[in-house]
Amino acid sequence: MVYDPDFAADFIDKLGERSAGRPPVRAWMLVCAGNLIVPGFFGTMLTREGGRLGMVLGVLVVLWLGRRACRHAREAVLTVVYGGWVVAVLQIFPLLQVAAGFCGVGAAVQTGRAMRSDYTHIDDVFGGLLATLVTGGLLIVVAAVFGLIGRLAVRLCRWDGRGPAEAKAGRGGARSFFGRPQ
């Protein structure tokens, strides 16, 4: 577990003390694995030989880019990880994953890397890579939005109405959300 003050609870605080400041590589890998279930299933149905190789390469690229981002943009990755768990749970009703997959396959079709017929299939390495990167990128954007919403909700719940200068100086009483004294 990683420590994040926006989502900290007592049990997370104890676990997070050991890893505070460390890159959240393990969390990134786990959330990626959790989000591969439905897209991976549909991806294997829509790809053949070279397309499957491209799909595997696309997953490896997403994992590698996320791992690098863990070292350089820790807070952003934590936001995506928190939202990524929401996206992973939403695989129960995979509307997001199917929509992102349609966009990925559409990108492969538009570039001529997928065969459009009664049953669209991708048998080109670049087509599989492109479809996977588009699908993964869209799901990462949705995860980031969910993570930002979660962070905003936590901050609003903890907000006492004082500005940063007042909070540092210890001045000012508790205020309501609209700035009125309570």
Q: Average pLDDT in the 100-122 region? A: 84
**pLDDT above 80 (res 165):** no
**pLDDT tens digits, residue range 34-56?**
999 999 999 999 898 889 999 99
Question: For residue 15, what pLDDT is reported?
Answer: 40
pLDDT band at residue 116 using 50, 70 and 90 as cut-offs: confident
* Integer CA distances (angstroms), 94 to 35, 39, 98, 106, in order: 11, 9, 6, 18
Query: Between 118 and 17, whose confidence is greater?
Result: 118
* Residue 146 identity (one-letter amino acid): F
Residue 52: predicted pLDDT: 93
pLDDT at residue 104, rounded to an integer: 94
Handedness of CA 67, 73, 74, 77 (dihedral sign): negative
Contact by Cβ (8 Å): 104, 134:
yes
> Stretch 55-82: mean pLDDT, rounded?
94
How confident is the prediction for the chain on average, in pLDDT?
82
With cut-offs at 50, 70 and 90, classify the pLDDT of residue 11.
very low
* pLDDT band at 158; cut points 50, 70, 90: confident
Is 170 strand, coil or helix?
Answer: coil
What's the CA angle centered on 26, arms 150 and 132, to 5 degrees?
Answer: 80
Q: In the chain, which residue ranges form alpha helices assigned H by DSSP?
A: 10-19, 25-34, 37-46, 49-72, 74-89, 95-110, 125-158, 164-169
Question: CA-CA distance, 18 to 20, in Å (whole number)?
Answer: 6
103: Cα within 13 Å, side-chain hemisphere: 12
Rounded Cα distance, 23 and 113, in Å? 36
**pLDDT of 16 higher than 50:** no
Say what the pTM is: 0.76
Which residues, at least 6 apart from 91, have a Cβ–Cβ distance to it below 8 Å? 35, 37, 38, 97
